[in-house]
Amino acid sequence: MLRGFEAAHGLTLKRQFIAAERRAHLHALFLILPLLLFVLVTFAAPVVLLLTRAVYDPSIAGTLPRTVAALQDWDGRDVPPEKAFAALVEDFRTVSERNTQAFIGKRLNYEIPGARSKVIASVRKSQAIAAPPYKEQLIAADKMWGDRLIWAKIKQSGEPFTSYYLLRSLDLERDVDGKIGPVAASQAIYLAVLWRTFYISALVTLITLLLAYPVALMLAHAPPQTANILLIFILVPFWTSLLVRTTAWFVLLQDNGPINDALKFLQFTDEPLKLIFSRFGTLTAMVYIQLPFTLLPIYSVMKGISPSYMRAARSLGGGPLYSFFRIYLPLTMPGIGAGCLLTFILCLGYYITPALVGGAGDQMVSGIIALALNQENNWGKASALSTILLLATLSLFFVYNRLIGIDKVKLG
Amino acid sequence: MLRPPPYATPIERALFYLGWLFTGLVLLFLIAPILAIVPLSFNAEPYFSYPMPGLSLQWYRDFFGNERWTGALLLSVKLAVTVTVFATILGTLAALGLSRTNLPFRSILLGILLLPMIVPVIIVAVADFMAFAHFNLIGTFLGLVLAHMALATPFVVITVTSTLTSFDWSLQKAAQSLGARPFFAFRRVILPLILPGIVSGAIFAFVTSFDEVVVALFLASAEQRTLPKQMFSGIREMISPTITAAATIQVLFSVCLLVGAELLRRRSERLRGLSHG
């Protein structure tokens, strides 16, 4: 009887506990939900939408549907049969009515440089073609149609889901037979940009580490009052807007700016050095901006290391260098990892600084993405490059989260 | 220690003083560009060089007398204040929810909420540019607010979350056991204690929006000039020393915010009994 009572109440208690726990979780989710929805709508969904543009481009499938259908069973070995030409002439009629020839011309121009004007002219000329044979008349309008290349490209780009933009971001393309190979050397620019982005980011990370480590070391072992005052020198730039800091370097690096003035005054040089719009300017400004990001995590790790370790190492007979490299440096590794990874991740996305103080040869992926949109209006290219940049950032972010934990980012 | 440790060898002593020399140079490198630009904003001549032939307030007169700059300043402040209010509310609520550490998928949720801070801002700008076009939000104040909020909320979430990790939840239980309803306990017990964290999150949100330029370049219309956007085009198109005046004003502003955030941090540590400073 008593046992039954206990069992019944124990069970209720357990059930009540589970119910209370579930209520608390629901309550917590309810608090998180507004921000989660907000981030999904204003950030996650747009980014996913952007990424789809890297692999989805229905412009040819939508404007030349009959031609794409007629090319389905074409083996691609020779110029396609008459029915493809007939389909194209008919498609061109619709294109002309809807005035979408510039659209097709632009898309095919990505594949075959110079195709734009030929396509637009062909659309106009094909309006006069009323009866078969379409093949001869279309080739007469432009001999480009007598070459299987343009047909292969229409067939390839007729697929709404395309690998074209991603391949091009890696300086690859499909040839006339659909095989993947490198693009012509004159068009191969993106691998160089990607490589440059990684190279500049790595170099900036390394330089900030070399500058930050000794400073963090001295500050971490200085009396707290002194360290707090000296930290102001790091926190003021850290809190100053990135654009203002870039502006400062923009002014300092001018041909007749303060640095060149000083160099001339000290008689190091007669001619002003080319500091602005150069790799040197880009690196200097980026190191300047990122230095606090590398320094602060190292500093905070060093603050947590008890001085007794070093004393113990020394009293046990370790020399200064030996003790430093075997005891102190390994203890500071978490700080080095956190600072360097953060700086590297942030460097990958730099846009404003290279745009303002860098030259044409110093633009990084972000700058090329902006260029693809602002000047070429090429959404596919911008999306494909964004995809690559995002993948690189996210995989590093994943590593960072695993090693350090994102919520431990030091905010000054 | 400004003196080397007593057991240091002569070489260590030398390294120690070299270390301070190096530190001094690096700190100079950090502060000099900001300090160098301030006097140039008082230059009587439109050059970026020293020595200055004379002093003048003309670039400040240009800044405050030119509708382009004052309009930009006004828009930026309006934008940043709006973003701060909403980002702080959303971020604080989420941080309160995330403070329940045994919540399922907590780390994934946190990761998603903090993602906008890590993803390169050009990607956010381009993605929002594309998505917002569908809703006619390009060139609108609302569009800028939404995009800036996405960038700013992670900072609120981080600061409030870190304040809450050291929060003593038994205080809430005590309040409720004494008869306080949950919302009353929140308003009178929890909120005052985590307020410093919320305010420093709000400062971060404000700064994020106030300094943001890439999203503004993509989403704002030609007439919508925020201060950073105006500075950006000021540098790119017509290099006028007014940018040094604008920069100086912003430096002053950030120093004020830094001092505010630092005071709050100290206060919050004191409230949580972490230090007696």
The ipTM of this complex is: 0.88
Is B33's CB within 8 Å of A411's CB?
A: no
Q: Looking at chain B, which residue has its C-alpha nearest residue A22? A: B103
| Residues B157 and B114: beta-carbon distance below 8 Å | yes
Residue B2, pLDDT above cutoff 70: no
Is B22's CB within 8 Å of A214's CB?
A: yes
Residue A300: list chain B partners with CB under 8 A.
none
Helical residues (DSSP H) of A241-328, grouped into ranges:
242-252, 258-265, 279-303, 308-315, 320-323
Q: Which of A316-325, A391-400, B48-57, B71-80 has the highest mean pLDDT?
A: B71-80
Average pLDDT (B179-198) is 88
Distance CA B262, CA A89 (A): 72
Torsion, CA A333, CA A338, CA A340, CA A344, rounded to 10: 150
Is B120's CB within 8 Å of A349's CB?
A: yes
Query: What pLDDT score was predicted for residue A412?
Result: 42
Phi and psi at A266, nearest 5°, equal: -80, 5
Is A42's CB within 8 Å of B1's CB?
A: no
Query: What pLDDT score was predicted for residue B273?
Result: 60
Summarize pLDDT for B134-174 with one digit per residue, the tens: 999 999 999 999 999 999 999 999 989 888 887 888 888 89
Q: Which two tokens stand for residue A108?
A: 């095919």
Helix (H/G/I), strand (E/B), else coil: A263 = helix
Query: What pLDDT score was predicted for residue A3?
Result: 58
Is B231's CB within 8 Å of A245's CB?
A: no
Of B20, B153, B207, the CB nearest to A218: B20
Is B122's CB within 8 Å of A320's CB?
A: no
Residue A248: list chain B partners with CB under 8 A.
33-34, 36-37, 247
Residue B205: list chain A partners with CB under 8 A.
none
Report the mean per-residue pLDDT for chain A. Answer: 88
Query: What pLDDT score was predicted for residue B137?
Result: 95
Residue B26: list chain A partners with CB under 8 A.
211-212, 214-215, 291
**Between residues B265 and A128, the one the model is more confident about:** A128
Is A43's CB within 8 Å of B127's CB?
A: yes
Residue B272, pLDDT above cutoff 70: no
Cα dist from B141 to A80, B154, B207, B221, whole Å: 53, 21, 18, 10
Summarize pLDDT for A330-376 with one digit per residue, the tens: 999 989 998 999 999 999 999 999 999 998 889 999 999 999 999 98
Query: What pLDDT score was predicted for residue A319?
Result: 84
Distance CA A328, CA A306 (A): 10
Is A292's CB within 8 Å of B126's CB?
A: no
Cα dist from A361 to A279, A357, B237, whole Å: 8, 11, 20
Strand runs labelled E in B122-161: none
Distance CA A89, CA A365 (A): 40
CA of B145, closest CA in chain A: separation in Å?
A: 10
CATH topology for the A190-408 domain: MetI-like fold (1.10.3720)
pTM: 0.88
- The distance of Cα B129 from the centroid of its chain, to the nearest Å, equals 23
Query: What pLDDT score was predicted for residue A407?
Result: 59
Domain map (residue ranges) of chain A: 59-187, 190-408
Query: What pLDDT score was predicted for residue B277?
Result: 36
Residue B207: list chain A partners with CB under 8 A.
239, 241
Q: Could you say which residues of chain A have pLDDT below 70?
A: 1-10, 406-412
Query: What pLDDT score was predicted for residue B271?
Result: 66
Residue B270, pLDDT above cutoff 60: yes
**Between residues B248 and A130, the one the model is more confident about:** B248
